[in-house]
Amino acid sequence: MASAVEQFASNLNFGSFAKAEELKQRLWFTLIALLIYRVGTHIPLPGIDAVVWNDIFSTKDDGVLGMFNMFAGGALERMSIFALNIMPYISASIIMQMLSAMMPQFASLKKDGEAGRKKLNQYTRYLTIVLAAMQAYGLAIGLEAMPSSTGGSAVISPGVFFRIMTVITIVGGTVFLMWLGEQMTARGVGNGTSLIIFAGIIAGVPQAVMGTLALAQQGQISNASLMALTLMVFAVIAFIVFMERAYRRVIVQYPKRMVGNKMMSGDSSHMPLKLNTSGVIPPIFASSLLLLPLTIVGFTGQGGGNEWLDTMSRYLQHGAPAYMALYAALIIFFAFFYTAIVFNPDETADNLRKYGGFIPGIRPGKPTADYLDNILTRITTIGAAYLTFVCLMPEFLISKFNLTFYFGGTSLLIAVSVMMDTVAQINSHLLAHQYEGLIKKTRLKGARK
């Protein structure tokens, strides 16, 4: 962690930052967009009795709804217009990427360049609206059916009008967040969708810290346990930074070539293969898919009289063995699935052969592709194990202490990874600005001569 901070400080030239007007505009746009998102999480859903809903949520915030509320930045606890957050868009993206990998029609669109990418994005948006409408309707029914401890309902006027109004409002909020995330990606710094989830997690950290300190003052957590929890959080952060910066370097050799009348010696370079090629995508995708059915169970299963839902609710509680196993399986699956999407060994081998590059000791073409695929499989196995360990082990320990999810591995992984990616993009913009300044100076000197 310290090395990452030191490298960022050394790379950050404050003089260049002051002159990088485009970067400052992008940063301001990102901050304003995140502020708009946070304001939206406090706009309540019409027709909800806030007092009754707070009473209902307080009895369920230690389970799946509490984890969903963490990703939603507290929007579910306040039952705001952003109650579903960006999760329907993530679910739609998962489905579209699976279709692109399995169906030739979508695979051909992916190969059509910019035009195909725009069509896939449009299909993803349409699917987001469908999923958001389904989840919003289920949310409306669940709100009508959930009684408080005093027997009252959180819905002031249940009925068809409330359900229609809830669907329209929730879908509108989800679509707005989807648009806001795309605008942040295009006009701001970093990935807009990841930053929205990051902002939601960070917004709840102060309250979680104060709640943990209050438990320590009340004697529910010993000082030794509090110290162990603090050390665990910093150890996990350091481990995440170390693993996210780990690469497997594959040496690439370029042959000698004639330049004019001179024979130029061959260049030697390396191809960096990131240990965790999929990044933070597997935990986000796994959480999104896992939270969809578990949220339905949270609203209707517990105490709803349905034996099948009650059984699912009991076995899939946060920290339960079945929940851990399913979560781990989804993380491992998406780690390999997303890596296969973002890195194609056959295409990389063809590009190396076109430019005359080769891996020492490996023949060009299919042997090179097989060699890269073998390396990628091994490092992805390590990356998937790392993601599974970081996401499950801290949360397993925390479930024993009955603490909040903000100290869990998933939240820490998302927060640290998104922050590192954003800092890397800031450094890239600063470096590009420095190159532009050097080019302008060179042109001015050439014009004077």
pTM of the model: 0.77
Asked: is 2-448 a CATH 3.40.50.300 domain? The reply is no
Distance between CA atoms of residues 306 and 427, nearest Å:
54
Note down pLDDT in tens along the chain; length 449 residues.
Answer: 444 444 444 445 555 666 677 888 888 999 999 999 999 999 988 888 888 888 878 776 555 666 677 777 788 888 899 988 888 898 888 888 878 877 878 778 777 777 888 888 899 999 999 989 988 888 888 788 777 767 677 888 888 899 999 999 999 999 999 999 999 998 888 888 889 988 888 887 787 778 778 877 887 777 887 787 788 888 888 888 898 888 888 888 877 665 556 655 567 778 888 888 888 888 878 877 776 665 555 555 444 445 666 666 666 666 677 778 888 899 999 899 888 888 888 888 888 888 777 888 888 888 888 888 999 999 999 999 999 988 887 666 666 655 555 556 777 888 888 888 888 888 877 777 666 655 655 555 555 55
Burial class (CB in 10 A: 0-12, 13-18, 19+), 185: middle
Strand positions, DSSP E, 151-246: none
Distance between CA atoms of residues 19 and 168, nearest Å:
45
Residue 9's nearest CA partner among 427, 365, 444 is 427
Interacting residues of 409 by C-beta distance below 8 A, sequence separation 6+? 236, 389, 390, 391, 392, 393, 394, 395
